[in-house]
Amino acid sequence: MSVNKEVKKITTNTLLKMKTAGEKISMITAYDFSFAKIFDAAGIDIILVGDSASNVMAGHETTLPITLDQMIYHASSVVRGVDRCLVIVDLPFGAYQGNSKEALNSTIRIMKETGAHAIKLEGGEEVLESVKRIISAGVPVMGHLGLTPQSIYKFGTYTVRAKEEAEADKLKKDALLLQEAGCFAIVLEKIPASLAKKVTESISIPTIGIGAGKYCDGQVLVMHDMLGINTEFKPRFLRQYLNMAQQVTGAVQNYIKDVKSKDFPNENEQY
């Protein structure tokens, strides 16, 4: 039997057991009650309330504008839809970079006001003090290395990270530091599969990849990308499981047609 099926609720310990058992971890983003409910009932291991909400929910170009209050709104909606999976919330840009006290205060607000189970933040050595302080307050932390979208203006582009030796070496070192600091898992975003394999084999906590190849312990996709809600984004790493934009367009066009033709509502659809 799979580790997922054995447990009533997915915890950070369940994820460690999955890594040990060689069972891949499934993670998807969600930002509202209704989708969270569907994903949880479908059996997903982790829902990430990602700061990608800034892009896919609010229409911003980057993840930078989303605020802590807005993340708390999304996260509390998600938590109300979930019975079983682990819910992780991104600390948004500006809510933790100042110092470790700010990082802890933002985390405490998320934990108190949303009911989520863990937080995620971007970066390695530079956020280590914050990671340790948050974990010492009893909150599980997920790391995020490789392409870290909150640093987009430093990188300049969303292309694959850590192709050069120096950046790859820093990433390997950062993964070990995050593990030593007590992180329970690390997201690896848009890095070569061979590097993700080395990192995954060098640490005992799970790696969750997005555009980081098949050797990671789990995978994460943004729901709007994998469900085909956002059809303009077509990177190589994305597998699209539905063309929801097309299906919803068809459904709404049928509704418009039925209203205009006076077919809807009919006699059985009225009181």
Binding site for ligand KIV (CB under 6 A): 29, 48, 50-52, 90, 187, 189, 210, 220, 222
Nearest approach in angstroms of CB 187 to ligand KIV is 5
- C-alpha span between 44 and 71 (Å, rounded): 21
Annotated catalytic, 61? no
Tell me whether residue 21 or residue 58 sits nearer to ligand KIV (CB atom).
58
CA–CA gap between residue 89 and residue 131 (Å, rounded): 14
Q: Which CB atom, from 7 or from 97, has the smaller least distance to ligand KIV?
A: 97
Shortest distance (Å) from residue 26 CB to ligand KIV: 13
Cβ distance to ligand KIV smaller for residue 7 or 64: 64
Which amino acid, 212?
A
- Based on CB atoms, which residue is closest to ligand KIV, 4 or 29? 29
Q: How far is the CB of 66 from ligand KIV (least distance, A)?
A: 9
Give the nearest residue (CB) to ligand KIV: 50
Kind plus residue range of the DSSP H or E element containing 144: strand 141-146
Contacts of 157 (CB under 8 A, 6+ apart): none
Q: At a CB cut-off of 8 Å and minimum separation 6, what does 85 contact?
A: 10, 39, 40, 44, 45, 46, 47
Report yes or no: 205 and 179 within 8 Å, Cβ to Cβ. yes
* Least Å from the CB of residue 46 to ligand KIV: 10
- Dig out the tokens for 149 from the structure: 């979208």
Instruction: From the candidates 164, 189, 201, 267, give the one annotated as an active-site residue.
Output: 189
> Which residues does the annotation mark as catalytic?
189
